[in-house]
Each structure stands twice: as structure tokens, then as C-alpha cells.
Amino acid sequence: MRALSVTMLLFTLSLGNGAAAATLLVANKSEASVSLFDLPSAQLRATLPSGVGPHEVAVSPDGRRALVTDYGTREEPGNAITVIDVPGARVTGTVTLAEGARPHGVEWLDDGRAVVTAEGITSLLVVDVNALAVLQTIAIDQPVGHMLAVSAKLGRAFVANIGSGTVSVVDLAGGQKVKDLVAGEGSEGIALAGNGRQVWVTNRAAGTVSVFDGGELEKLADIPLPGFPIRAEADERRGRVYVSLPEADALAVLDIQTRQEQTRLQFDIPPDRSRRTLFGDMLPDSSIPIGVLLAGDGDELFVAHSNAHVVTVYDAQSLERRTAIATGLEPDGMGWSPLDAAQ
């Protein structure tokens, strides 16, 4: 693990004495690797190889396996999903997809199946992880279907489409798209809130967050939020949705009930200008916070800064920074497992 620059004023406070051991997984998209950190020590346990351009991570409900979508780079589209044994800290297989598939968003349906967006072939894929095979291809037919959220309660998947500014609604039991909802220009991040019945969508180009009723499929609100809103993570316990803002170099905290911004975390992490990152040319002075993960039984909030190669960790209640973890190059998607190497 590379040492942090001495100019980075990063806290190294303990994540809590006596806390149960767990694992944080971080996809390093410019390094074709995944870092596994032991928690609460934040020590690097392993760096595993992935396919080209790993972007997102999803951990199985039992915490034993993780899926990493190998999206690719601007020049080289990815077409694979890497499967990781979390306690064993090893790669156990690869799901090979259609050429140019560009898998991105990923969510588990149960301990053996997952759904994955494949924006290169404008589809949602149902994957059998045990067989390392695609079970079903569901047509989305919208450009750049990127992130997704799954509501088990509603039996639906929601796919945010950057290219059309829409959200595609998929009936999982029927295996087909049922509707496209108009969100805003550059729809990308997506999260379920309001006991899983509200769909919150970040529209990065429009500078807004759209809120939909996931049952009635009606728009409830458009919330102005300048700063290139790119990811969303819901915190039901505290009635919040966290939205990362790379252009503002901040994390906005929105109230689920009022749909107003409560507060924001303004980051002070110097970017690494010596290396080219995805949005580094556009935002050279930003640490470029993108990935956001609420984990540790909802007590810890992780933010991946892709232009600084670090993940910051916050107390979810007080929003005070606990520590910072040096990662591989350009961290993006993250996953959390309650298991460590001994389990």
C-alpha cells in the first residue's frame, strides 16, 4: 500500500476498540485490482487482480463472496465480472460476458444470483454466480445504463441511464422492462429510501436529484443540487441520503422526509495531479469523491476519492472523520463484508 503524502492532513483515529472484524473491498479502476482491508484496523490484507477497469463491488448476503464489474477503460471496453472469496482473499472465477458488454452496476438477488447492468449492449443481465454464467438478458434499450438498485419488496430493478436521463423499471419475475421514467440529464447514481419504496436518482449534468415512488412509478420531486451529483447512498436509520459531489469536492446530506439538504462534508484532501484519472482533467483541483458506502451495521460511512487514491471513513451519526485509508489507483466502488480472513 503506497504511503500517503505528508501534505495530506488525514486522521488516523481508531475505528473502535472491540469492534467485530470485517472486510472492506475497494475497486481500483486504474490499476485492474481490488484491495481488501481488515476492519477495524484498516490494514491491507490483500490486493487481488481483476479484469480491466473494475468499477463496482457487491458483497453477497452471507458476506462470503464479492462481485466486481470489470467495466473497462475509455479505450478498452470490459466484458467480465470477477468473483472473489472474501474470507479466503482470493479470486475464484470470472463470468465472461458478450464482447464490449461494459458491466457496471451490480446487486445480488440471493446468495447465488445477481443482476448486472451491461451498458455496452443496453441490457440488464441475471447471472448465476455458481455456474459463472448468464441466465437471462433483459433488454433495457436505453443508452449508458450505469447504476442500479433492486427492491425485493417491489420485485423490481431500477436502472439509471446516463445517456437518456431516464430510469428503466424492470419486473424481475417477468424478466422484462415495464417503463422508462424521465429523471434528468445524466442520470447515474441511484438508491432506495423510504423503506425501499422511494427511488432517489442523481442527475449529474442537470445538477439535480430526482425522487420517484417506486410502486406507483410517479415522480415526487426534483431537488436542485449543483456540483455534479454522481452517487447516492441511503441511510434509513437517520432519514438521510448521502450524495457525492465531485465538482464541489463534497458530500451532501439530504433529509428523506423534507428532501432538503441538512448539511455537507467539504473535503480538504489534496488531489494527485501526477496521474490521469477519469474526471481529473475536468476537475484537477478536486479529490473527486465518487463511491459512497454505508456499512458496519450502518455506523460507518466510506467515501472513495478517485483523484486522491484514498478512502475516508466517517462516523455516520456525527459525520466526524475517523480515518483515511490509502488505496490503489483511482478507487471507485466499494463493498463491505462482516467476515474477515478467519471466517
Calculated CA dihedral for residues 278, 251, 274, 74, nearest 10 degrees: 0
Which pLDDT score is estimated for 281?
A: 77
Which pLDDT score is estimated for 3?
A: 34
Look at residue 140 and tell me if it is in a domain: yes
pLDDT reading at 201 higher than 80? yes
Look at residue 196 and tell me if it is in a domain: yes
CA 29 remoteness from chain centre:
12
pLDDT (mean) for 167-171? 98
DSSP 341: T
pLDDT (mean) for 173-191? 98
Q: What is the total count of domains within the chain?
A: 1
CA 293 remoteness from chain centre:
7
pLDDT confidence tier of residue 280, bands split at 50, 70 and 90: confident
Return d(Cα 172, Cα 211) in angstroms, integer. Answer: 21
How does strand 90-96 pair with strand 43-49? Answer: unpaired
pLDDT (mean) for 167-173? 98
- For the chain, state the CA radius of gyration: 18
DSSP 255: E
Return d(Cα 101, Cα 84) in angstroms, integer. Answer: 20
* Number of alpha carbons in the 13 Å side-chain half-sphere of residue 191: 25
Which pLDDT score is estimated for 119?
A: 97
Q: Which residues of 23-45 are buried (b: 16+ CB within 10 A; e: fewer)?
A: bbbbbbbbbbbbbbbbbbebebb
pLDDT confidence tier of residue 342, bands split at 50, 70 and 90: low
pLDDT confidence tier of residue 20, bands split at 50, 70 and 90: low
Which pLDDT score is estimated for 15?
A: 43
- Average per-residue pLDDT in the chain? 93
pLDDT reading at 13 higher than 50? no
Q: 274 CB contacts (<8 Å, ≥6 apart)?
A: none
Question: What is the residue-wise DSSP string for 13-65?
Answer: --S-TTPPPEEEEEEETTTTEEEEEEETTTEEEEEEE-SSSEEEEEE-TTSSE
Look at residue 109 and tell me if it is in a domain: yes
Q: Which domain holds residue 184?
A: 34-259
The DSSP element (H or E) to which 262 belongs, if any, is strand 261-266
**Which residues partner with 128 through β-bridges?**
113, 133
Look at residue 10 and tell me if it is in a domain: no
Which pLDDT score is estimated for 12?
A: 39
CATH of the domain at 184: 2.130.10.10
71: left (phi over 0), alpha (psi -120 to 50) or beta: alpha
pLDDT (mean) for 242-269? 97
pLDDT confidence tier of residue 135, bands split at 50, 70 and 90: very high
pLDDT confidence tier of residue 343, bands split at 50, 70 and 90: low
pLDDT (mean) for 78-84? 98
Look at residue 65 and tell me if it is in a domain: yes
Look at residue 337 and tell me if it is in a domain: no
pLDDT reading at 9 higher than 90? no
Of the candidates 57, 62, 17, 59, the one whose C-alpha atom is nearest the C-alpha of residue 290 is 57
Which pLDDT score is estimated for 6?
A: 29
Q: 70 CB contacts (<8 Å, ≥6 apart)?
A: 32, 50, 51, 52, 53, 54, 55, 78, 79, 80, 81, 82, 103
pLDDT digits (tens, 9 = 90+) for 97-124: 999 999 999 999 999 999 999 999 999 9
Which pLDDT score is estimated for 4?
A: 39
pLDDT confidence tier of residue 19, bands split at 50, 70 and 90: low
Question: What is the residue-wise DSSP string for 128-140?
Answer: ETTTTEEEEEEE-
Q: 318 CB contacts (<8 Å, ≥6 apart)?
A: none
pLDDT confidence tier of residue 279, bands split at 50, 70 and 90: confident
Distances (CA, A) of 217 to 145, 158, 160, 181, 207: 18, 11, 14, 7, 22
> What does residue 120 show for φ and ψ, rounded to 5 degrees?
-70, -20
pLDDT digits (tens, 9 = 90+) for 221-245: 999 999 999 999 999 999 999 999 9
Which pLDDT score is estimated for 7?
A: 31
Which pLDDT score is estimated for 2?
A: 36
pLDDT confidence tier of residue 17, bands split at 50, 70 and 90: very low
Look at residue 343 and tell me if it is in a domain: no
Look at residue 293 and tell me if it is in a domain: no
